[in-house]
Amino acid sequence: MKNMIKATVISAAVTAFAVGALAGSAWTNGAKADDPIILKFGHVGQPGSLFAASVEEFAARANEKLGDKAEVQVFGASQLGKDKELLQKLKLGQVTFALPSSVMSSVADEFGIFEMPYIIKDREHMKKVQDAIGEDVLQKAANDNGYQILSYWENGFRNITNNTRPINTPADLEGIKLRTPKGEWRVKMFKLYGANPTPMAFSEVFTALKTGVIDGQENPYAQIWSAKFQEVQDYLSVTGHVYTPAYVLVSQDHFADLPEDVQQILIETAQETQAFVYDTAAQMETDLLSKLEAGGIAVNTADKDAFISASQPIYEDFASSVEGGGELIETVQGLAN
């Protein structure tokens, strides 16, 4: 009798497990298996930023092609986490896409090439660099760390704002507490220039500027304007010291689990959106500088030659401390001509 009862209990447990397994296979996050696959795209850009415009354009194009197979959903303004958190959530499969820029230099040394001041001259130069090292160097570095780059977009050319003084030469940065992204080479660069670099998540910068925790920050116009930094900063110095690409990034493993036709649509759409990103970024550089000036922030054009002259040690450091760093610098610089 006991054996019969025991067998009945085991049979009931097996049946319950089987039903649960079937239910689990039919539902994902509350959706039925024949419902569209939900693809979350998290980024840190505020509404009105280049990031926001880029991701929303990609989502609109992709969703039109995907039909009822899948749906790209956009979560900006760090809703799904800051850059570091998004990188981790990609690995966990909690988000499908992220759009990191400077933080990639903390993922693999090779991405630090874009932290070298003034190494990228313009977008045409960046296209040549992408063609030359995008697959063999950058994609390989991403793959080695479990990621895959679908396309190269941008964050843009970075400029300095602060509440202390206009920045004309590196000497003017002496003692200024300047927020930087959490990347080794940006910190080294601003230390070299004499500033006091303070790595901080982008979502925390406005409050830190407003309360005086930091004196300034450096970002492209689109990020400065969309985050309303002009409301809490007195000076904008046009330095253009670094061009930062942005990477449409996925988890290599989780992306491979998607149906092949969905993967192909997403790759093609990410790549074709690059032209929109570059055109929008170039237009924003003109429009937003005028808006920032009209908003009352004092604008000056820095002496870029003085910054370039002061930057040589950071190149030497990269060449000596990163495997293949010297060759990478030569390759990128050679493509500018």
Region 36-47: mean pLDDT is 97
Q: By CB neighbour count within 10 A (0-12 exposed, 13-18 middle, 19+ buried), where does 195 fall?
A: buried
Region 120-131: mean pLDDT is 98
Closest C-alpha among 273, 215, 250 to residue 61: 273
Half-sphere exposure of 103 (CA within 13 A, CB side): 20
Question: What domains sit in the chain, N to C, each tagged with a CATH number?
Answer: 34-334 (3.40.190.170)
Residues 127-172 have pLDDT tens digits of 999 999 999 999 999 999 999 999 999 999 999 999 999 999 999 9
Check if the beta carbon of residue 284 is closer than 8 Å to that of residue 154: no
Comparison of pLDDT for 7 and 110, the residue scoring more: 110
Q: Which residue has the tokens 């040394």?
A: 109
235 has a pLDDT exceeding 50: yes
pLDDT at 35: 87
Strands 177-180 and 196-199: parallel
Check if the beta carbon of residue 102 is closer than 8 Å to that of residue 115: yes
48 has a pLDDT exceeding 70: yes
User: pLDDT > 70: what percent of the chain?
Assistant: 90
Question: Which one-letter DSSP state was computed for residue 330?
Answer: H
Check if the beta carbon of residue 160 is closer than 8 Å to that of residue 237: yes
Strands 196-199 and 235-238: unpaired
Region 217-241: mean pLDDT is 97
8 has a pLDDT exceeding 60: no
Region 195-216: mean pLDDT is 97
248 has a pLDDT exceeding 60: yes
CA 117, CA 6: separation in Å to the nearest integer? 72
Q: Which residue has the tokens 């003109």?
A: 286
CA dihedral 20, 26, 32, 37 (to 10 degrees): 130
pLDDT at 32: 60
User: pLDDT > 90: what percent of the chain?
Assistant: 88
pLDDT at 33: 61
12 has a pLDDT exceeding 50: no
H helix or E strand, kind and range, residue 179: strand 177-180
Read off the tokens for 11.
Answer: 């049979």
Burial call 288-298: b when 16+ CB within 10 Å, e when fewer:
bbeebeeeebe
H helical segments located in the chain: 2-26, 50-66, 83-92, 123-133, 140-144, 184-193, 205-211, 221-226, 252-256, 260-294, 304-310, 312-321, 325-334
- Which strands make up the sheet holding 70-75, listed edge to edge? 70-75, 37-42, 97-98, 243-251, 147-157
CA 75, CA 102: separation in Å to the nearest integer? 20
Region 26-31: mean pLDDT is 40
Check if the beta carbon of residue 203 is closer than 8 Å to that of residue 43: no
274 has a pLDDT exceeding 50: yes
CA 157, CA 137: separation in Å to the nearest integer? 22
Mean per-residue pLDDT over the chain, rounded? 91
pLDDT at 337: 79
Q: Please, which pLDDT band fits residue 24 given cuts at 50, 70 and 90?
A: very low
CA 17, CA 113: separation in Å to the nearest integer? 52
Q: Please, which pLDDT band fits residue 269 given cuts at 50, 70 and 90?
A: very high
Residues 90-114 have pLDDT tens digits of 999 999 999 999 999 999 999 999 9
Check if the beta carbon of residue 20 is closer than 8 Å to that of residue 194: no
pLDDT at 34: 73
pLDDT at 177: 98
Q: Please, which pLDDT band fits residue 262 given cuts at 50, 70 and 90?
A: very high
Q: Sign of the C-alpha dihedral, residues 16, 19, 25, 27? A: negative
Interhelix angle 312-321/184-193, rounded to 10 degrees, is: 150
Region 234-242: mean pLDDT is 98
Residues 57-85 have pLDDT tens digits of 999 999 999 999 999 999 999 999 999 99
| CA 302 centroid distance within chain | 26
Residues 304-325 have pLDDT tens digits of 999 999 999 999 999 999 999 9
- Length reported for the chain: 337
